[in-house]
């Protein structure tokens, strides 16, 4: 059995996230306290109690999701389940890549929290609210989604942002182009084409100012080689060199999240049979089953999930 740990991205956040862990485990409480201190903000109160509109702000959702994921990692470690011994690889969806790298020891927890706060603020500032949008195209393959984006562009930015799973591709760009793409996608046979409730057009060339901000921020933090290889969003291949990881994180801000290819690599060349999603929600577990129906998945985000996972490994 070969296992990879995966880490969720934006959209998985929910009010109450992490509270069960904080109530049950001192290791989880310590993670939330350290993140609060690093940010000079009571982020854990927003995670546990809301309000939802404040939690959904990009600059809050990103470090919050990371904190919840790392809390799971730390609790598992306290039970003798270390990442380096039980995972052959790590991978994370968009901001989840930072969670993965923190879990694997590339970044300290405090640095990861500050990087994600910077990333969230920079992504929000890159495009004025209302000028950018994202849409999910359901039922179209990647090539068809690219054709939709090209046809809808008409001089505006319109690009593939996330290749999440077969038949689930997200596009991103200028609002008029994304709105045009909805009708074009339906004409090309999409089952559904819908705008996403996001505040900025992530993972497209409009994010170039944010990419530059992250290049600066990443140049100023200490980075170690991860304890297990990272399967990077922009390459869908294994990385261990800190300089290459830094470059991939900068490219990731404007680049495509190649999640389908990443899971295909893990379950193919990587030899992974079991995918454990650490943190809030079950989005990645659902995507993994769509990408490879033979993969065994588990979502580990609550104290009950942790107990079940520990019991399974001990059996």
d(CA 276, CA 249): 22
| Total of domains in the chain | 2
Query: Which residue, 66, 84, 86, 72, is CA-closest to 25?
Result: 72
- State the 10-residue block means of pLDDT for the chain, 315 residues long: 96 96 98 98 98 94 98 97 97 98 98 98 94 97 98 98 98 98 97 93 98 98 98 98 98 98 98 98 97 97 96 86
Residue 259's pLDDT is what? 98
| HSE toward the beta carbon, residue 196, CA cutoff 13 A | 24
**pLDDT at residue number 209:** 98
Active-site residue, from 12, 44, 69, 94:
94
Residues 178 and 253 in one domain: no
Note the pLDDT of residue 275. Answer: 98
For residue 3, the Cα-to-chain-centroid distance in whole angstroms is 18
Give the bridge partners for 158, in sequence order: 173
Structural domain boundaries enclosing 17: 3-126+206-314
Whether 263 and 142 map to the same domain: the answer is no
Peptide bond into 126 cis (omega under 30): no
What's the pTM value of the predicted model, to 2 decimals? 0.97
Other Cβ atoms closer than 10 A to 61 = 24
Q: Do 150 and 99 fall within a single domain? A: no
Residue 23's pLDDT is 98
- Whether 93 and 221 share a structural domain: yes
Catalytic residue list contains 94: yes
Q: Which of 198, 219, 254 is a domain's end point?
A: 198
Q: How are strands ordered across the β-sheet holding 168-174?
A: 158-165, 168-174, 132-138, 192-195
pLDDT score at 28: 98
Which tokens belong to 122? 């920079």
Query: What pLDDT score was predicted for residue 199?
Result: 84
3-state helix, strand, coil in the chain (%, to 5): 50, 15, 30
Q: Can you give the pLDDT at residue 315? A: 75
Last residue of a domain, one of 198, 214, 247: 198
Cα(309)–Cα(297) distance, integer angstroms: 11
Same domain membership, residue 264 and residue 163: no
Distance (Å, whole) CA 73 – CA 57:
24
| Helix pair angle (96-103, 109-126), 10° resolution | 170
Are 98 and 236 in the same domain?
A: yes
Supply the CATH number for residue 264's domain: 3.40.366.10
- DSSP-assigned beta bridge partners for residue 278: 300
109 and 236 part of one domain: yes
pLDDT of res. 102? 98
For residues 109 and 99, what is the distance between their CA atoms, to the nearest angstrom? 9
Q: CA 276 to CA 304: how far, in whole Å?
A: 15
- The domain boundary residue, chosen from 157, 180, 198: 198
Residue 197: its pLDDT value, please? Answer: 87
Q: Are residues 45 and 88 in the same domain?
A: yes
Domain containing residue 180: CATH number = 3.30.70.250
Residues in contact with 101: Cβ distance below 8 Å, sequence separation at least 6, in sequence order: 90, 92, 107, 112, 226, 230, 245
Residue 286: helix, strand or coil by DSSP?
helix
47/193 same-domain check: no
Which one of the listed residues 86, 93, 203, 274 is annotated catalytic?
203
- In this prediction, residue 198 carries a pLDDT of 87
Output the pLDDT for position 268: 97
Q: Are residues 42 and 191 in the same domain?
A: no
203 as an active site residue: the answer is yes
Task: Identify the DSSP state of 50.
Answer: -
Distances (CA, A) of 267 to 27, 100, 175: 31, 18, 36
Statement to judge: residues 175 and 239 lie in one domain? no
Same structural domain, 105 and 238:
yes
């Amino acid at each position: 059995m070969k296992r990879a740990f995966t880490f969720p991205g934006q959209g998985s956040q929910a009010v109450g996230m992490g509270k069960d862990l904080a109530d049950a485990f001192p290791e989880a409480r310590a993670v939330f306290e350290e993140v609060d201190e690093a940010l000079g903000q009571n982020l854990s109160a927003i995670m546990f109690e809301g309000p939802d509109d404040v939690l959904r702000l990009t600059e809050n959702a990103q470090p919050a999701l990371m904190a919840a994921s790392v809390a799971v990692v730390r609790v598992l470690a306290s039970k003798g389940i270390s990442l380096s011994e039980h995972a052959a690889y790590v991978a994370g969806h968009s901001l989840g890549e930072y969670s993965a790298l923190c879990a694997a020891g590339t970044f300290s927890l405090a640095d990861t929290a500050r990087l994600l706060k910077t990333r969230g603020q920079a992504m929000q500032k890159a495009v004025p609210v209302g000028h950018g949008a994202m849409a999910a195209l359901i039922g179209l393959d990647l090539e068809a989604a690219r054709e939709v984006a090209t046809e809808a562009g008409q001089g505006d930015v319109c690009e593939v942002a996330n290749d999440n799973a077969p038949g689930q591709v997200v596009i991103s760009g200028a609002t008029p182009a994304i709105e045009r793409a909805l009708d074009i996608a339906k004409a090309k046979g999409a089952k559904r084409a819908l705008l996403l409730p996001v505040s900025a057009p992530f993972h497209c060339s409009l994010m170039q100012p944010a990419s530059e901000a992250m290049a600066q921020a990443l140049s100023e933090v200490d980075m170690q080689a991860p304890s297990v290889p990272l399967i990077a969003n922009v390459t869908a291949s294994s990385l261990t060199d800190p300089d290459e990881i830094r470059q991939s994180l900068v490219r990731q801000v404007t680049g495509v999240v190649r999640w389908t290819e990443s899971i295909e690599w893990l379950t193919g060349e990587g030899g992974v049979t079991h995918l454990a999603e650490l943190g809030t929600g079950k989005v990645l577990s659902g995507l993994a089953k769509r990408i490879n129906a033979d993969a065994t998945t588990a979502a580990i985000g609550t104290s009950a999930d942790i107990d079940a996972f520990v019991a399974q490994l001990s059996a």
